[in-house]
Amino acid sequence: MNIWRLIAHHEDPVAAIDAMKGRHRIAVGWSLVKDLSRLEISRPSDISDLIRLSYPNLQNAHLGGPSLWNLFHEMQIGDLVILSAKGARNSVFEVVGPYTYEPDVGQILGYAHQRAACLTSIDPDILWNKSETSVAEGQNVRWTLAACNKTLEAESAIYREGARFSVTSTAFERNPWARQKCIEHYGCKCFVCAFDFEKTYGKLGAGFIHVHHRIELSSRDGEYVVDPIEDLVPLCPNCHAMVHQRRPAVPIEELRISIRT
């Protein structure tokens, strides 16, 4: 697990961080540089060259390349990110997903290079101070995204009595009636891999299954009327996790085809 410092350089950086909290993502700029996962890049300087081409009047391409490289290549799931705005540390996120490029409506105040991340309860000032208030060797304090020093004191600020930290996220109300109707229709077997908890675990697994929304609730605009048969489907935890490996979620039918037999 690594610790990063990310500076929000938006015109309204505080609003940008609030948007990241609401979308459960962290974001970095230079969005005219397209999806890095689809480009032939092998080092930070390759991205800097792309920034120079996309932003010919920009003077900080040499800073943007390493920042995007860190987001795209160096950052790992489970890493922590200290978000700062207007010279003040605002919050700490945990990275929970791979790099994604979100153009158009997926941008966060114009920033398309993103990673899924959850807000934590860790105090950003304590974590920064325990990291010796500096970026790590080989990093540059002027980079938008830079790795911090990982010290024993920083780790002690994260781990408390064997529990890591509490995660705060938006809770979307789920209709228990709709869940029950979905299970009554499909049963408790996983719709993708057909795993049956009761068959494997006996009474302990009876009636246990996750219920997946084909269209993510976070993408809906407020309340809507759910169709238990068309909108919901039972999934085992493994398949449910795999469905959410991409954003938007992997279509159920596509995941079924991808299973290795």
Q: Cα torsion at 5, 9, 12, 15 (round to 10°)?
A: -30
Q: Please tell me whether residues 123 and 248 are part of one structural domain.
A: no
For residue 212, the enclosing domain spans 176-258
Residue 68 is predicted with a pLDDT of 97
Q: Please tell me whether residues 9 and 54 are part of one structural domain.
A: yes
Tokens of residue 237, six digits: 């935890």
Q: Please tell me whether residues 132 and 219 are part of one structural domain.
A: no
Please state the domain count of the chain.
2
Residue 148 is predicted with a pLDDT of 92
Angle at 248 between CA 111 and CA 261, to 5 degrees: 135
Q: Please tell me whether residues 85 and 114 are part of one structural domain.
A: yes
Q: Please tell me whether residues 111 and 195 are part of one structural domain.
A: no
The answer to whether 166 and 120 have CB atoms below 8 angstroms apart is: yes
Residue 157 is predicted with a pLDDT of 63
Residue 84 is predicted with a pLDDT of 93
The answer to whether 211 and 179 have CB atoms below 8 angstroms apart is: yes
Q: Please tell me whether residues 20 and 132 are part of one structural domain.
A: yes
Q: Please tell me whether residues 138 and 18 are part of one structural domain.
A: yes
Q: Please tell me whether residues 164 and 186 are part of one structural domain.
A: no
Name the domain boundary from 123, 139, 168. 168
Specify the pairing of strand 25-28 against strand 167-168: unpaired
Q: Please tell me whether residues 42 and 17 are part of one structural domain.
A: yes
Chain CA centroid to CA 158, Å: 19
Question: Could you report the average pLDDT of every consecutive run of 10 residues in the chain (261 residues)?
Answer: 87 86 89 94 95 90 93 92 92 89 86 90 88 88 91 66 40 58 90 93 90 66 66 88 79 86 57
Q: Please tell me whether residues 122 and 185 are part of one structural domain.
A: no
The pTM score is 0.63
